[in-house]
Amino acid sequence: MNSYSNMSKKFYITTPIYYVNNKPHIGHAYTTIAADVLARYWRNKIGDANVFFLTGTDEHGANIEAIAREAGQEPQVFVDGIAAQFKAAWKMMNIEYDRFIRTTESQHMKAVQKALQHMYDRGDIYLGEYEGLYCRKCEQYKNAKDLIKGECPDHGIPPEVMREESYMFKLSKFAPELLQKIEKDELLICPQERKNEIVSFYKNEGLQDISFSRKNVQWGVKLPWDKSHTAYVWADAFLNYLTGLGWDGTAGVRHLAFWPPQVELMSKDILRIHATIWPAMLLSLDLPLPRKLFIHGYFIVDGKKMSKSVGNVIAPEDLVKKYGVDATRYLLMSATTFGSDGDIGWSRFDEKYNADLANNLGNLVSRVLNMIEKYCQGKIPDETESPFQLDLVGETIERLAFNEALEAMWLQITKANQYIDDHAPWQLAKNESKKDELEEVLSNLAAFLLDLAACLDPFMPKTAEIIIGSLNSSKITKGEPLFRRI
């Protein structure tokens, strides 16, 4: 299976580039924090220079142009504003990407034109006419059977019947090869049920040639051989995964740093096009496919879909305002199995924050620092190895089982708090003959906290930094609580 040991020595991770029809929401944050956790983990393991984390914004299309006009702005001005909001959100959440790409960048657009020209020249793009059900909101054609009561399942609006001259992509040509690669896990799709879903789609519905351009849509990348057409926005957007690395659109490149991605993260609503159109484009361009597509689920709030009309939308900035950055990262990454839908809500967050962060982790750190200050004059006794096991944390992060990694850490945190209660250092301190035992207990706890901080770092980097800084201080003091109870 695609373990890292048989991959290259570099690690490339991507998020989707986010559609700039509105400001960042909690789903965007979930994907991007997960990518940041993975990138931080691999940087710690193989070095900063060997890891590349790409995110960005998808800014073209008729829908974006219409939204901009409704807002009374030119499209470029509108997308500039939304892209800035995404960058600000990721800075607020301490997300350290290596590159933030925008599809309106000239370098990207030139590369897209060059790539599409190659695909056209080799006969994989041809002039035709297309008729289908088109959802403007998600810029995708829909099959009638995918609709719910005649409406797009993601946007709740009826798609338009669209018929127009279009340049078509020979998607059907690549179906047999792609199905074989997916079945053999050469293109690994996780979790397993998502792979099964895609295999079923290939076998039961197959791939049809698709529209790859729009005529007389101005806000997009113009086809180099026919300026009256602009590229299908997804064809434009997919190539960001390459142009974000500096790719200039040349087909067949085999020396592009970091390519192919070790993992591409996304939500389940865009899996099908990432498992069909995207790898077919790569085959047309004679480029290697991504190693893995990992698909996470959706959040619902107290059993209901997030909706402005219902009034249950949870914004990333609201979480940070209430809980702080690291606590928000923890609450989202521990909310559910990564790959499954999760039910969240303010009451659940409050309960988990108090139980896991204030009472458990925060209490443990406070107790240990306080006892070292009180019983050891602020100096850690002779170093020992931690008696608490964190060996499985790395393995769970590598397979993107983020909640399992956190559960493994919190199990040991609970054991460490119990260890304090069982050994009662405050009692040992009363007896001079127990000094060695007291110092061993506190040394064990300090060693555990340092190991724990290293494991926590990808998830809660500031918290890890505070723990390490406190224990490496010339004189250890209890200091301020890590997390105040709500």
- The catalytic residue positions are 25, 28, 135, 138, 152, 155, 305, 308
Phi, psi of 150, deg, nearest 5: 80, 10
Euclidean distance between CA atoms 452 and 52, whole angstroms: 25
Pick from 390, 396, 448, 442: nearest CA to 420: 442
Euclidean distance between CA atoms 65 and 78, whole angstroms: 9
Cβ atoms within 10 Å, residue 196:
11
306, 299 Cβ separation under 8 angstroms = yes
Provide Rg for the chain, Cα atoms. 26
With b for 16 or more beta-carbon neighbours within 10 A and e for fewer, the 247-273 pattern comes to bebebebeebebbbbbbbbbbeebbbb
User: Does residue 423 sit in helix, strand or coil?
Assistant: helix
319, 349 Cβ separation under 8 angstroms = yes
Euclidean distance between CA atoms 196 and 111, whole angstroms: 34
- Three-state SS for 16-79 is CCEECCCCCCHHHHHHHHHHHHHHHHHHHHHCHHHEEEEEEEECCCHHHHHHHHHCCCCHHHHH
57, 24 Cβ separation under 8 angstroms = no
Tell me how many helices (H) and strands (E) the chain has. 19, 17
Pick from 325, 83, 125: nearest CA to 211: 125
Strand partners, 19: 58
CA 406 to chain centre: 17
Residue recorded with tokens 């008696």: 387
Measure CA of the first residue to CA of the last residue in the chain; give whole Å: 44
Strand partners, 11: 51
393 is written with which tokens?
Answer: 């944390």
